Amino acid sequence: MHIAIIGNGISGTTAARFLRKYSHHRITMISAESEYFFARTGMMYAFMGHLRFSDLLPYENWFWKKNKIDLVFDHVTRIDVLEKRLYLKRSPEISYDKLIIATGSKVNMPDIPGTSLHGVTGFYHKGDLENITNLHRSISNAVIIGGGLIGIELAEMFHSKNIPVTMVVRDAGYWRNTLPYEESEMVGSLIKKQGIKLLLNTEVREIQGNAEGKVKSVVLTDDNVIECDFVGIATGVLPQISLLNDTGIATEKGILVDEYLQTNNPDIFAAGDCAQIRSPDSGRKSIEPVWYTGRIMGELVANNICRNPVKYKPGIWFNSAKFFGMEYQVYGFVPNKKSTEYDNVFWQHPDTQKSVRIMYEQSTEKVVGFGLMGIRYRHEVCEKWILEETQLSTVLADLSLANFDPEFFRQYEPLVLEQYFQQTGKKILPAKAKNLNAVIKFLKNVKR
Amino acid sequence: MKKIIKLLGVLIFLTGFVIFLLALREQRFTLMPHVVESVIVNPYHKQLIKSVDYEMLEEQYESSEAFVNRLERLFRDVKIVEGLNTKNTSSEIQKNGAPLSEYDINQYIFELTLASQLGGIIVESSWWLRMTFGLMMLGALLYIFTGLYESPESNNAGVWQQSFQNRGLFGLLTGSFLIGFYIVLYWFPLYITSWIHLADPLSRSLNGNNAGQWFLYGAMYTLAILVMGTRMLIRYRHDRYQIFRTISVMFFQTAFAFIIPEILSSLNKPRFDFKDMWPLKYDFFFEWNLNTLLQSGHIGVFMLVWGIVLFLVAVPVFTWFFGKRWYCSWVCGCGALAETAGDPFRQLSNKKLFAWRIERYLIYAILIFVIVMTLLVLYTFFTGSANIGPLNSYDVRKWYGFLIGSVFAGVIGVGFYPLMGNRVWCRFGCPLAAYMGIIQKFRSRFRITVNGDQCISCGNCSAYCEMGIDVRAYAQNGQDVVRASCVGCGICVAVCPRGVLSLENASEDISQRGNIKRTIKLNLDDI
Ligand SMILES: Cc1cc2nc3c(=O)[nH]c(=O)nc-3n(C[C@H](O)[C@H](O)[C@H](O)COP(=O)(O)OP(=O)(O)OC[C@H]3O[C@@H](n4cnc5c(N)ncnc54)[C@H](O)[C@@H]3O)c2cc1C
Ligand code: SF4
Ligand code: SF4
């Protein structure tokens, strides 16, 4: 059998690796972006000089040949689903028996005038990185549109090169459509502390260019004008599905797939950013453009092609990020708005660089989520607590089981309990600080 | 402002460095009778040298070369006299133990040259000390302290974009200087007597004597660790693991490696570094060391037992508890330099699979080499015979000392910092690291835990692993890192932007450490 994969991102690559693990099928992976799989998540570090671009490649170049994964560095222009054939820009066409579409995302360009000017770019593809790397020496003022994860990465990148940055954010706080108020404020004040201008409740109405077609300024909804020679677009991403027009493969925002990640064509699967789950599990979204889901889907697709199909069950939601120096982690359900159904214990360090938020269902006191700033918690411990619907009091007493900060770091769990006491008047005695032995034991016994 | 101070720091450092280089031009030598008296104490040798012409005494030489040439001629004459006298003095030779050997001559020439130097560097030695090491330290510290005004989280911004740290011009220059320095220090110390004299004031204050080449080296080594250790403390001021560990290596180097041996020697006890151990200290079982220790009374015997207990008991026990990091990143002198002065270069280690292949063969070959050599040496010690089959234990130890002790550990180990990273020796060469690595791999509570599925494969951990471990390869699979070579520096933990890694110890699962791959989501029960 010949399995073709369009896209060599984390989804396509994981699929290829597991296909190889499970089978001897012929595997061809096609991408127009880069010859070899690279971690787009680390692009900012390549720009800032922490890394070279070559450091973003998780596998050495011999890896693909050794594992008999054929790579094609070209653009797929058309899929012929009847003939089961792919047409490419330069190379001869490729026939397939099964096809995995893992084309990822594209930048969601806002619908305003001027987005095609020189000096306006998103930050998703390798080309964007090269573009910004080439441009940055001549940039004296940068504007970033969008207050999300990519927006702050772009801001940090320019800031590290001492280029003044203004972030224009539509919401009332940084990443406020995802972060609860306090966390959003913490990041917001961190951004401002760096000397970056953060304009909230503001949108860009128009990007203006000069006679040479270069960016010269942006006009805001409040009619203010900011002079700038670079505009970074960070208003989110959309599934990259233009290739599927007229193929009969069902799409909506993304490529519609069932719980086996199969499209409406039984020989064609989709995985990663480009896939849209028809009926996602509760607590999960139909499109989740993150690294982790791409990896899980890639593995699942490989399995479902080679072995008995298994349903996509991504489990408890998790994500992480870093805002300048401040690390962020989330496990489970941590809504950005208050509700009557859920309550939380929220502790914040006075220096506002650290916080712990534990969400629980009000009626039952079952813990449903953890949100962390500047403190690391253990993925598996939090996951287990949530999956087993553990009571808040149990979680709090054992909280240090979850602490994943490096050795000798100060532990703040007793302060979280103190905060809980002040919030509720209930006193919980902290269990002794836990070491890895205790964690392993805790994770091993399924129910205690 | 920050930039100006940085620039000022660089300028002051370079000024000190240039004066340091200029110090080499200070060359005036005159052999005084009292110098001969104090350097040549062996009565037979003394008698020999007295039998030749003393014309060079009190004559002034303007270069070490001329002076050394003249000394060599002097000793040739001495050898001739010795040859003439052999018959008459054979009883004398017996009494004094040894004829005048080639080794003795070289040693005398070096010591006579060193002690015969005159001029500003001798008279105004503390001025010179201040203008060289003083200025260099001041400049370096000025530069380093500006780090306080930089966010420690952006530590590595620009690392690959500056030539000092990316094997560019400044990196190559620094490497060349270091390599040259080691070669001169080991094999041509005659030409750096001026530098050795720079350390005289320091040496006198510690042990009452003038400096030798190894004192100079020890002092420079320690200063480098203290100054660059300060840099680490500032750079990682947000990370308590790094702070504690850096203070620890600074302390062990200063107290154990530098000051205590000097004090011991001024008390006429063997110079002993209580943290240095076989097989890294490969000459521990050499006759001269065993004899020195055995002849030094209780303290000597204690040192001998201590040295053996260290590698026989302390290494397995501590490595079982904490991994080899307890030594490599907290105590060891080589590690101390690598983790402080070497920190700017950690990203230069090779992460490729082929490097790992070389590493495996090389480091265990050297471990075998040191074991065989030591067995031969002990055989000679107990039986008095140097030859075992085709092997001569003196030749073997000479080769080990030259190839491994000097070329590998010194010239390559440190000289290649700016070219191949700061742990070349620890990774490819150190037999103690090899020994501890075996324990760490098979029987230790230590591992680097990976936090669930959180890795985004960005590659920061691998890039900054000085041991060239591809940490990402483990992290992206959710697999704990269990590797013989990991020295537990904790830098991968510090640089990971997603907080994925942590150095941890646990006894629960020693034989299954690193078995689980968390990112594999499919449960076979589902299928
Ligand atoms: C700067 C940045 C930082 C990020 N940080 C994080 C993070 O910290 N955590 C996280 O979870 N997620 C992060 N993400 C998101 C994450 O990178 C994506 O979710 C992930 O890369 C998606 O993987 P994928 O394999 O589905 O698609 P992609 O990585 O987009 O790969 C798809 C590939 O297919 C190619 N392709 C598309 N169409 C064709 C065609 N017609 N012919 C040939 N090739 C084609 C594309 O060029 C691309 O190379 C980040 C994204 C960016 C841009
Ligand atoms: S794996 Fe991490 S702790 Fe071990 S040597 Fe490498 S960087 Fe240091
Ligand atoms: S630095 Fe962290 S996120 Fe990046 S590859 Fe290493 S473990 Fe993964």
Both A400 and A368 in one domain: the answer is yes
Mean pLDDT of B337-341: 97
Cβ pair A1, A98 in contact under 8 A = yes
Q: Is the pLDDT of residue A448 over 60?
A: no
Same domain, A254 and A243: yes
Task: Kindly indicate the confidence band of residue B382, based on its pLDDT and cuts at 50, 70 and 90.
Answer: very high
Q: What CA–CA distances, in Å, run from A247 to A77, A78, A264, B107, B488?
A: 12, 9, 11, 87, 54
CA separation for the pair B152, B233 (Å, rounded): 10
If pLDDT is split at 50, 70 and 90, which confidence band does B527 have? very low
Q: Indicate yes or no: CB of B506 within 8 angstroms of CB of A435.
A: yes
Q: Which residues of B touch A320 (CB under 8 A)?
A: 454, 456, 498-499
| Domain CATH for A356 | 3.30.390.30
Q: For position B26, what pLDDT does the model report?
A: 84
Query: Average pLDDT in the B419-429 region?
Result: 96
Output the average pLDDT for chain A: 95
pLDDT > 90? residue B240: yes
Q: Band of the pLDDT at B357, cuts 50, 70, 90?
A: very high
> Cis omega (within 30 of 0) on the bond before B201?
no
Residue A405 belongs to some domain of the structure: yes
In this complex, the residue of A51, A60, A407 whose CB is nearest that of residue B459 is A51
Contact between B335 and B329 under an 8 Å Cβ cutoff? The reply is yes
Q: Is the CB of B472 under 6 A from ligand 3?
A: yes
Residues A194 and A216 placed together within one structural domain of the fold: yes
Does the C-beta of B263 come closer than 6 Å to ligand 3? no
Q: A377, B473 in Cβ contact below 8 A?
A: no
Q: Which atom of ligand 3 is nearest to the CA of B454?
A: 3
pLDDT at B55: 67
Question: Which of A51, A406, A408 is closest, CB to CB, to B463?
Answer: A51
Structural domain span for residue A213: 120-235
Are β-strands A225-227 and A215-220 bridged in parallel, bridged antiparallel, or unpaired? Answer: antiparallel
Q: Where exactly are the structural domains of chain B?
A: 27-118, 445-512
A41: in domain: yes
| Number of structural domains chain A divides into | 3
Distance (Å, whole) CA A397 – CA A385: 12
* List of chain A residues whose C-beta atoms are within 8 Å of the C-beta of residue B456: 39, 41-42, 291, 320
Question: A141 with A201, same domain?
Answer: yes
Chain mean pLDDT for chain B: 91
The mean pLDDT value for A145-150 works out to 94
Give the model's confidence band at B42: pLDDT under 50 very low, under 70 low, under 90 confident, else very high: confident
**Distance between CA atoms of A425 and A418, rounded to whole angstroms?**
9
A332 and A437 within one domain: yes
Residues of chain A above pLDDT 90, percent: 95
Judge whether A352 and A189 are in contact, CB under 8 Å.
Answer: yes
| B475-526 per-position pLDDT tens digit | 999 999 999 999 999 999 999 999 999 999 999 999 899 888 887 777 655 4
Q: What is the pLDDT of residue B52?
A: 76
Across the interface, whether the CB atoms of A379 and B453 are under 8 A apart is answered: yes
Final residue before a domain boundary, out of A253, A282, A306: A306
A38 — pLDDT class (breaks 50, 70, 90): very high
pLDDT confidence band for A173 (50 / 70 / 90): very high
Burial of B168 (0-12, 13-18, 19+ CB in 10 A): middle
Closest protein CA for atom 2 of ligand 2: B492
The tens digit of pLDDT for each residue in B246-282 reads 999 999 999 999 999 999 988 989 999 999 999 999 9
Q: Whose CA is nearest to atom 8 of ligand 3?
A: B455
Q: Are residues A97 and A180 in the same domain?
A: no
Confidence of residue A25 (pLDDT cuts 50, 70, 90): very high
Residue B86's pLDDT is 59
Of B310, B297, B56, B472, the closest CA to residue A10 belongs to B472
For the residues B198-205, what does the mean pLDDT come to? 91
Confidence of residue B349 (pLDDT cuts 50, 70, 90): very high
DSSP string, A146-185: --SHHHHHHHHHHHHTT--EEEE-SSSSTTTTTS-HHHHH
Q: Do both A212 and A150 map to the same domain?
A: yes
pLDDT at B526: 47
Structure tokens at A89: 């820009």
* Banded pLDDT at B92 (limits 50, 70, 90): low
pLDDT at B269: 92
- A337: phi then psi, degrees, rounded to nearest 5: -120, 155
Q: Tell me the nearest-neighbour CA distance from A41 into chain B, angstroms.
A: 6
Confidence (pLDDT) at A392: 96
Instruction: Determine which residue's CA is closest to atom 35 belonging to ligand 1.
Output: A7
Residue ending a domain, choose from A249, A271, A306: A306
Residues A172 and A136 both lie in one domain:
yes
Q: Which helix (H) or strand (E) holds A226?
A: strand A225-227
Task: Please tell me whether residues A427 and A332 are part of one structural domain.
Answer: yes
Quick check: A95 pLDDT over 80?
A: yes
**Residue A313 falls inside a structural domain:** no
Question: Which of A144-148, A214-218, A343-347, B40-44 comes out lowest in average pLDDT?
Answer: B40-44
Q: What is the average per-residue pLDDT within B134-151?
A: 95
A113 found inside a domain = no
The length of chain A in residues reads 448
Q: CA torsion sign, A31 to A36 to A41 to A44?
A: negative
* Ligand 3 pocket check for B500: Cβ under 6 Å: yes
B503–A406: do the CB atoms touch at under 8 Å? Answer: yes
Residue A58 lies in a domain: yes
Q: Match 């760490």 to its residue by tokens.
A: B440
Residue B161 DSSP code: G
CA distance A314 to chain B (A): 8
- Tell me the mean pLDDT in the region A193-214: 96
Burial class (CB in 10 A: 0-12, 13-18, 19+), A416: buried
Does residue B406 surpass a pLDDT of 90? yes
Residue A145, domain member (yes or no): yes
User: Position of tokens 């920050």?
Assistant: B2
Instruction: Using DSSP bridges, classify how beta strands A255-257 and A275-277 pair: parallel, antiparallel or unpaired.
Output: parallel
What is the average per-residue pLDDT within A163-181? 97
- Tell me the ligand closest to A247's alpha carbon: 1
pLDDT beyond 70 at A335: yes
**C-alpha A53 to ligand 1 mean position (Å):** 16
* Cβ-contact A395, A365 below 8 angstroms: no
Is the separation of the CB atoms in A199 and A220 below 8 Å?
Answer: yes
Distance between CA atoms of residues A27 and A11, nearest Å:
14
CATH number of B445-512: 3.30.70.20
**C-alpha to C-alpha distances, B206 to B116, B260, B411, nearest whole angstrom:** 22, 10, 28
What kind and span of H or E run contains B5?
Answer: helix B2-23
What's the whole-model pTM score? 0.95
Strand order in the sheet with A142-145: A120-122, A230-233, A142-145, A165-168, A197-199
pLDDT above 60 (res B91) = no
Same domain, A29 and A131: no
CB pairs under 8 A between A and B: 159
The answer to whether residues A333 and A353 belong to one domain is yes
Set of chain B residues whose Cβ sits within 8 Å of the Cβ of A406: 239-241, 490, 493-494, 502-503
* For residues A161-177, average pLDDT: 96
pLDDT for A446 equals: 56
Please judge whether B507 and A437 are an interchain contact, meaning their C-beta atoms are less than 8 angstroms apart: yes
Q: How far does CA B343 lie from the centroid of its chain?
A: 15
Distance CA B147, CA A121 (A): 33
In a domain, A67, yes or no: yes
Measure the CA–CA gap between A408 and A400, rounded to whole angstroms.
14
Boundary-marking domain end, from A250, A281, A306: A306
Q: What does the pLDDT read at residue B307?
A: 96
Cβ within 8 Å, pair A318-B454? yes
| Residue listed under structure tokens 């690559």 | A13
Phi, psi of B335 (to 5 degrees): -65, -40
**At A214, which CATH number?**
3.50.50.60
Q: For residue B71, which amino acid is it?
A: L
- Give the position, in ligand 1's atom list, of the atom nearest the Cα of A13: 25
